[in-house]
Amino acid sequence: MYDFNYYTPTKVVFGRDSVQQLGALVKAQGCKKVLIHYGGGSVKRSGLLERVRSALALEGIRSVELGGVVPNPRLSLVYEGIALAREEGVDFILAVGGGSVIDSAKAIGYGAAEDADVWELYEQTRTARACLPVGVVLTIAASGSEMSMGSVITKDEGGIKRAYNDDLARPKFAVMDPALTMTLPDYQTASGCVDILMHTMERYFTAGGTMEITDSIAEALMRTVIRNARILHDTPQNYEARAEVMWAGSLSHNGLTGCGNDGGDFASHKLEHELGGMFDVAHGAGLAAIWGSWARYVYDARPDRFRRFAVNVMGVADTGSDLELALRGIEAMEAFYRSIGMPTSLKELGIAPTDQQIEELAEKCALACGGVAGSIKKLRQEDMRNIYKMAR
């Protein structure tokens, strides 16, 4: 077990019609002008944007708006948002949407708070000293960005997708009404469930110290997401299942499932970010497509850990060697992914990278990780190339 800091400053307002509390939540921030940030149109179609506008207007809170955030959110829109925030004297950003909108809001927050190029943060050439406060109305359970320190932005030229992590950008509040996620396409619901699972699996599969309480929370979380993802696959309008998954999404990436371990592996995420940057795939689906190959590449380094996962999470019968059980656990997870319509290879994901593109993916991934990724097994560029090839 390692020492740890656990910091979750986000106020969570969870449940049916929680959007009704939005006006009071924003007012309590004491801000002068809010930037309402949203995506490609789902919040207009569902009527949520209108409800948000009314909630702010009722409290006499002034606002400006910037929509158009796309999945794998782009740096160009972040720059636009920074310019708008400065021009309008914005001092609070309200993200109404999913991970892409929240991450774009965080990036605008960093950029508007400091007179320097925000991309330098994502290139890891400096650290932030300030960020405008961000609040969230969540519309998809997936990224965990509503409580996380992360923000992931894609630079338009070259499709370079990079993350920046800093407590400064953890949202002040997150309004979470599971009913808001009922308009999601099934593919996005399933993709979100994979991302939630992966945020816990990345921390669970570690070669470093572990803690029994953290492992037990992680296993319960993973079992809960698997059970409810299956329910949502058959009955997407099930409120209870939506709620279980939504809360799991926040707990999976707010630091809880990493307490006491070594910070996790996160190699699958690093590998997927390059796929997102080059091919613009949905993040969770990209993770599902790469995970099995990653797992088969690394499991012999910690078969005991994979055995525990197989038995305690996937319900595999506890007989056989560590290596046998590890493989059965990986197969069971892949079968689950397929059962909810998620891919388990790049082909199923709908992409066919050439050898040259795989080389480029591996090169960019290694560069982004400073040469080495992962905990359970340390992966270098050649390992990354091998995993991408296995995933084809």
List contacts with Zn ion (CB under 5 A).
Answer: 195
* Site for ligand NZQ, residues 203 to 232, rule: CB under 6 A: none
Q: How many CB atoms lie within 10 A of CB 32?
A: 11
Give residues with Cβ within 8 angstroms of 335, minimum separation 6: none
- By CB under 6 A, which span of 5-13, 128-136, 182-190, 235-243 interacts with ligand NZQ? 182-190
Whichever of 310 and 391 has its CB closer to ligand NZQ, that residue is 391
CB of 237 to Zn ion, least distance (A): 25
The one of Zn ion, ligand NZQ, none whose footprint includes residue 264, by CB under 5 to 8 A per kind, is none
By the rule CB under 6 A, 171 interacts with ligand NZQ: no
Strand order in the sheet with 173-176: 11-14, 173-176, 134-138, 92-97, 33-38, 62-66
CB of 121 to ligand NZQ, least distance (A): 13
Which listed residue (97, 135, 303, 374) binds ligand NZQ by CB under 6 A?
97
Which listed residue (51, 81, 85, 99) binds ligand NZQ by CB under 6 A?
99
3-state secondary structure of 302: coil
By the rule CB under 6 A, 258 interacts with ligand NZQ: no
By the rule CB under 6 A, 188 interacts with ligand NZQ: yes
By the rule CB under 6 A, 264 interacts with ligand NZQ: no
By the rule CB under 6 A, 41 interacts with ligand NZQ: yes
By the rule CB under 6 A, 23 interacts with ligand NZQ: no
Type of residue numbered 57? A
Task: Number of residues interacting with ligand NZQ: please give it, by CB under 6 A.
Answer: 34
- By CB under 6 A, which span of 111-119, 140-148, 225-233, 305-313 interacts with ligand NZQ? 140-148
Which listed residue (111, 133, 150, 264) binds ligand NZQ by CB under 6 A?
150
Measured distance CA(383)–CA(392) in Å, rounded: 15
Q: What phi, psi does 37 have (nearest 5°)?
A: -115, 135
Which listed residue (10, 63, 104, 181) binds ligand NZQ by CB under 6 A?
181
Measured distance CA(82)–CA(74) in Å, rounded: 13
Report the alpha-carbon angle 254-175-113, nearest 5: 70
Bridge partner residues of 95 (DSSP): 37, 136
Which listed residue (18, 63, 104, 148) binds ligand NZQ by CB under 6 A?
148
Measured distance CA(186)–CA(316) in Å, rounded: 27
By the rule CB under 6 A, 344 interacts with ligand NZQ: no
Give residues with Cβ within 8 angstroms of 33, minimum separation 6: 62, 63, 64, 88, 89, 90, 91, 92
